[in-house]
Amino acid sequence: MNFKGKLSVFLVLIISTIFLVPNFALAVTVGQQLTSPESGWTRYDDSDTNLIYVGTWGHATYQNSTLYNKTETSTASKGDYLTFKFYGSKLRIITSFQSNLVSNGIIDVDGVQSTFNQYRSSQLTCVIAYEKLNLSLGEHIVTITMPNEAGKCLQIDAIDTDGKIIPSSTTTLTAAQSVTGSSITLNWSAVIDASGYKIMRSDISGGPYNTILNDNYLGTNYVDETATPNTMYYYVVIPLFDGLEGYKSNEASATIINSGKALLTVTYTNGITRSYDLQISQIDDFITKYTNYLAGSGLPYYKFEKSPLSSNFTKRTEYILFIHLSNFDVDEY
């Protein structure tokens, strides 16, 4: 190849490099301005109703501002926080950078906490203050908290994600023993745009909860026929949005009180038997006290309040002395 040919190839390589470099420069990162979401991302304004602000946050609109949608939400109170759920694998927090903003904002993603900076001596809007690009594809919970920085503010302008923010709408749940007395009936308010509901139950207040129905149940009431009598159960209902879980409802509790009756037949050591028509709760009480007596910690007798034989008496009590008791039978009906 002659000198002119080599020069031509060299010039082509230089020109190609010049045109390729800007493409790499377009990849923005933390601390850089991003006035609109990149391709494949969706931007949610700070005023989106599915962002849950807790505390004394203030929302403001500035007509001549370069903020995204000309709005921002901010707080100066320690401990105030913003929380939301999203589906995706990437997240960016868009804020302003300026001298009155925090340098150690607190962010928690799925229980993993870190910090981010919003401080800059001169103002710059629509800046990536935080990003997470390697999350597993799925549902994630994010909480952003105002740190203990006196004289500073925490500001939110927008949220970018490669997926979508999950609706924050929840439902109000009630639980009660059913009319038949053999099950627990749940009722809840409908959630707009919910594709169904997931029903969960625990025998401990606050959970952990076990799923008892997870097939996009479409109704707003449910009868739990698997509940055991005399056990307190705690329920929550979660709205589903095309398979994505929303926020739990309030916790509602109920128990099945066994209101049935039974015949208690006691046999004494001398062979005499006596029968008593009682509520189940009375029989449970009798068994408990007899068990305590055998363990050496209870009274030596059990008493039944009965109707007086005549108007001459105001009260009639029958006593069973446990020491004379041979055995007893319970026949429920």
> What DSSP string describes 222-274?
EEE--PPTT--EEEEEEEEETTEE------EEE------EEEEEEEETTS-EE
Q: How many CB atoms lie within 10 A of CB 253?
A: 15
Task: Please give the domain boundaries of the chain with CATH numbers for all domains.
Answer: 42-165 (2.60.120.260), 173-254 (2.60.40.10), 261-332 (no CATH)
Three-state DSSP at 286 gives helix
Burial of residue 75, with CB atoms counted within 10 A of its CB: 0-12 exposed, 13-18 middle, 19 or more buried: buried
pLDDT of residue 9: 47
pLDDT digits (tens, 9 = 90+) for 151-168: 999 999 999 999 999 999
Kindly give the parts of the chain with pLDDT less than 70: 1-26, 179-181, 258-259
- pTM for the whole structure: 0.66
Q: For position 181, what pLDDT does the model report?
A: 66
What is the token pair recorded at 333?
């009906």
Place of tokens 């995204």: 68
Find how far residue 99's CA is from the centre of its chain: 36
Q: What pLDDT score was predicted for residue 12? A: 46
| Alpha-carbon gap, residue 61 to 73, rounded angstroms | 9
For residue range 97-135, what is the model confidence (pLDDT) as tens digits? Answer: 999 999 999 999 999 999 999 999 999 999 999 999 999
